[in-house]
Chain A
């Protein structure tokens, strides 16, 4: 892999920021030049969707998921709170409410 440390964003003249700054890594640059920026169709049709799926997703994103899974931290995949999966959360609430109703009606003796 190419050494990312070469690509340090230029410091604009006249800026004296106080905060500590890190050099950009290759990932920082790739995610900007590939994922962001003005997206217009050139004449040379490169199926960037394929490339994004293959190169970016497979090698970078999936790699991170695999690494995490190897480390045994994959529970967030099923955690609606973190995945933002409100549908799963709603389903779960509905199930719980139904159970509560069933329990309450079963408990009523009088």
Chain B
């Protein structure tokens, strides 16, 4: 018999219609709920062989394991978010047992209620902007006053300058994009730009923004995104997401 622990995915307000039968979470475990007052925690029982401190330290370095576990965690959060406003909890938040989760819901009750009321009726959209830096800039053939060496250096200098200019313009454009999108959103957050290997694209990512949008303004937001497309910067839209980027309990409450 191995020791077990309670893995926490998300917290919602308890509703009478919360049915999550058959939902599977990390490591194929069954997802269940723990109720405390008017809050509901979505959890599953995990083995400490996989989710103890020591195994986790090793597993989290394994990108395959990490990807699979993150996917399973995300799946549970999305399923819950389809039904009710949700406060997603960070990956691998593990408790000794159900009692500790109940204590958490009791101790941080007001914080969770705050977070949940902040995201109710709102959804998160992701907007990424890319620019192709390998594209050659405008090549100006300046009248060559010096020899071929000077001409080469001048061309090279001009090339570097146009690339810098392209970066500057693109970065300024991304700033404007973010401002425009934020103006339609309730809140916004800029994630770090992703590496091409991660984004799967060769272009450089200029903007990796998350926007919390009132559901009633979704169409307006999406239209804004469409209006911003094709101005030398390519735009990618993802979502709607569970409000991961807007549930900052740590900052909001101090328990």
Contact = CB atoms under 8 A, between A and B. Distances in A.
B75 A7 contact: yes
Contacts of A82: 167-168, 171
A17 B94 contact: no
Interface string B127-140: 00000010000000
B199 A9 contact: no
A38 B63 contact: no
Given A37-B247, A63-B197, A44 B239 contact: no
Interface range for B = 35 or more
A107 interface: no
A94 interface: no
Given A19-B237, A43-B94, A44-B52, A2 B197 contact: no
B164 interface: yes
Contacts of B108: 40
A38 B115 contact: yes
Interface string B78-117: 1101100001111111111000100010001000100100
B200 A25 contact: yes
Contacts, number: 205
Nearest to A81: B168
Nearest to A62: B195
Contacts of B167: 73, 76, 82
A89 interface: no
Interface string B38-70: 000000000010011100110011011011101
Contacts of B71: 2, 6-7, 26, 29
A45 B57 CA distance: 10
Given A24-B238, A46-B92, A54 B61 contact: yes
Contact of B247 (A18, A28, A38): A38
Contact of A18 (B56, B133, B226): B226
A9 B5 contact: no
Contact of A20 (B163, B193, B237): B237
B225 A27 contact: no
A38 B197 CA distance: 28
B66 A38 contact: no
B174 to A, nearest CB: 11
Given A23-B238, A28-B126, 13 more contacts: A2-B68, A7-B75, A9-B242, A15-B240, A24-B241, A26-B71, A32-B245, A36-B189, A36-B245, A38-B88, A42-B95, A44-B53, A54-B61
Interface of B: 5, 8, 11, 48, 51-53, 56-57, 60-61, 63-64, 66-68, 70-71, 73-75, 77-79, 81-82, 87-96, 100, 104, 108, 112, 115, 123, 126, 133, 163-164, 167-168, 171, 189, 191-200, 204, 208, 210, 218-219, 222-223, 225-226, 236-242, 244-245, 247-250
Across the A-B interface, give the 3 residue pairs with the lowest CB-CB distance, nearest first.
Answer: A2-B67, A64-B195, A27-B198
Interface of A: 1-2, 4, 6-7, 9-13, 15, 17-40, 42-48, 50-51, 54-55, 59-61, 63-64, 67-68, 71, 73, 75-76, 81-82
